[in-house]
Chains A and B, each alone.
Chain A
Amino acid sequence: MKILGKFIFKLIKIAVFIYGLLFVVFYYDLDGKFMYYIWEPLMIKRFDNMKRPDTTLTPYGMRDNVSEDF
């Protein structure tokens, strides 16, 4: 019983610690700072360097894939 109580108490302590940590992240906008200074630059680099097909080579034929009058 005592062990269980200790375990629960430990769990509560961990939960309180995580909750407190999250509050710090929230209050000091650490999530925003992470996204702005780390995540987004990484993504920009990724998307800027991504190979993209030349979409202007898409055919524009008269007969294919054309829906007629409805």
Chain B
Amino acid sequence: MNLTDIKNTYRKLFVVEKAPEDKNKPKDLKKAVKDFWYGKPHEERRLGALYVENTGLYKHREWRGVKDTMYYFNMIWLYNYGHMVTDIMKYGGGTPKALVDFTKGLLRYRWMGQTYLTAIHWFDRGMEGMRGEEMRASAWHYRAMVSETIRQFMEMFASDKKLHGGEASEQWHKNIAHNETVSGSVFYPFRDVLEDIPLEMITYFVSVHVNSHTVLNYIDAAQSIGLPADPCPMCQAEYGLFIEDDYPDYSPVMVTTNEACDGSVATSVLQDWFLNRPLYAMPQPMRYDDPLVQKHCQKEIEGCWKFIEDQFGVKFDWDQYVKYAQSFNKLTEFEWEKWDVDANTNYYPISSVAQALYRIYYSQDGDRPIWHEIDDHVKRIMNKTVKNKIVCFPKTRHRAIAWSCAPLYYSHWTTWAYNCWGINCVINMDSLMFDQYLRTDTYEHALEDLGWFNEKAPMRAMAVGGHEHILSLFDYMERFHCDMVIMYDQLQCKGMQGIHGVFEDEFRKRDIHAIWVPHALPDKRTVSRQEIRGLINDYMTTVMHEEPLDPTLVDFDDSGSW
């Protein structure tokens, strides 16, 4: 490598080009000091110029003004890196064995080795351009998700046969593995004696958000044994883990379900084959609004409980159920409070991506202490913004609702859309799932509500059981005072593809601005992030005739980004 190469590499990795119009401008010291202290105004930030081409890395991280930069450095960057170590110790029992298990897992599983250490960049992508309270509240949400992820993989690694010479530890006999779409709430009655851990939540779902590279191996593996490319890539990736032998073996059983689609049902057969251990299927009824289906649904949940009792020799514990359900209700109550502020004020301090991911994660996972801890932080921030009337996301031009399932490799597109076009995606479909309070006054009420809770799981609550569910978009638009729809177009989702034209008709009839965003859930190769941005750019310029808030964000290459 010669000097020119070094210079070029240095320029590529560290030097931010000035805007052409700024090159010959005289220096304005007063403004420079002001920008240093408060950070640049939104329109002058030039966030797109910060990227190292193709990588999504930053030449330097954004300067947000002294206060916010130091907050980001101390309370987000340092704090979370620190916790990524201390949480390993905490959830690993505080012994050196925790570090050994962690290291073994890190070096054994692709979804872990390639992904874990890149988690802070996931924060960066989710918090680009944010300032003040919205940055703080959103970062807390991310912190919770990382912490819970560490808890789950440490539980898996501690009892993983593959990391311990094929030996089944005592804990292995006390773990329930379940499909990521089975809600953790089902296992509340056993939480004092057993540990329920979703098999694909970390290995597939979370890892895609943090680093979209690893999942491609699993999708390719799934297709390598003959599966066509068109089924839902989420299901493909889930079973690609088995083909690649990249799943931790931490439980003697498996609980699966039919949520949310045909692909999910069909994946069960492959799960059954590769896991080759007792499997309980807990399907939920499709026509879930029908009062007649509720008893059936409840009996399937009871069947699951009986399966656990039989397999583990434990007893259903009503008191445990009540304890966790009541605790979870507190999370639900706060969620409703959040929706209220989000729908009716400009003081909602949580970014769209933080809202969506946190909501889907905790409601799917069920009650855990970390969610309460974080809700307390967020509650304090939200109370402050409401009380002091602090306008969050002040450059909002459009209040958008995102409908259908989001691109997992680009869930942070919302951050870009706000920074570039002022599109504030105030709510999304996945946030509206599991909208069910769990009564605990009697066993019958508890079971009834738990049935409903599971029937309203992600995707299926809106995507199945009748067209009225998916068309409830228009009611939610009104409720959240939205003037724009971001219509996710998951190319392999048959349920959504199957009603595409009806939406087109409705948008036209109701004179609604709707931007279709095609994607392939976790697979960034099908529709790239740049293409997604291109479609939104086109709509905003040709239909809305608007100018970007930050022109450097209109077009940039992040194809190799995590």
Contacts and interface: CB of A to CB of B under 8 A. Distances in A.
B46 interface: no
Interface in B213-230: 213, 217, 225
A32 B78 contact: no
Contact of A23 (B73, B304, B306, B307): B73
B14 A28 contact: yes
A39 interface: yes
A32 to B, nearest CB: 5
Nearest to A59: B276
Interface stretch (B86-94, B116-124, B344-352, B517-525): B116-124
Contact of B60 (A29, A47, A52, A66): A29
Interface of B is mostly: helix
Contacts of B52: 33
Contacts of B13: 33
Contacts of A28: 14, 59-61
A55 B243 contact: yes
Interface string B240-260: 001111100000000000000
Interface residues on A, range: 20 to 34
Contacts of A55: 242-245, 274
Nearest to B304: A70
B60 A39 contact: no
The DSSP consensus for interface residues of chain A is helix
A53 B110 contact: no
Interface in A14-70: 22-23, 26-29, 31-33, 35-36, 39-40, 43-44, 46-47, 52-53, 55-56, 58-60, 64-67, 70
A37 to B, nearest CB: 9
Given A43-B113, A44-B114, A56-B243, A67 B58 contact: no
Interface in B10-57: 13-14, 52, 55, 57
Interface residues of B, number: 44
A32 B77 contact: no
Interface stretch (B277-285, B365-373, B393-401): B277-285
Given A35-B118, A55-B243, A70-B306, A47 B276 contact: no
Contacts of A39: 117
Nearest to B63: A27
Given A55-B245, A65-B278, A67-B280, A47 B110 contact: yes
A66 to B, nearest CB: 7
A43 B118 contact: no
A66 B61 contact: no
A61 to B, nearest CB: 8
Interface of B: 13-14, 52, 55, 57-61, 73, 77-78, 81, 107, 110, 113-114, 117-118, 120-121, 124, 213, 217, 225, 242-246, 273-274, 276-280, 303-304, 306-307, 310-311, 562
Interface of A: 22-23, 26-29, 31-33, 35-36, 39-40, 43-44, 46-47, 52-53, 55-56, 58-60, 64-67, 70
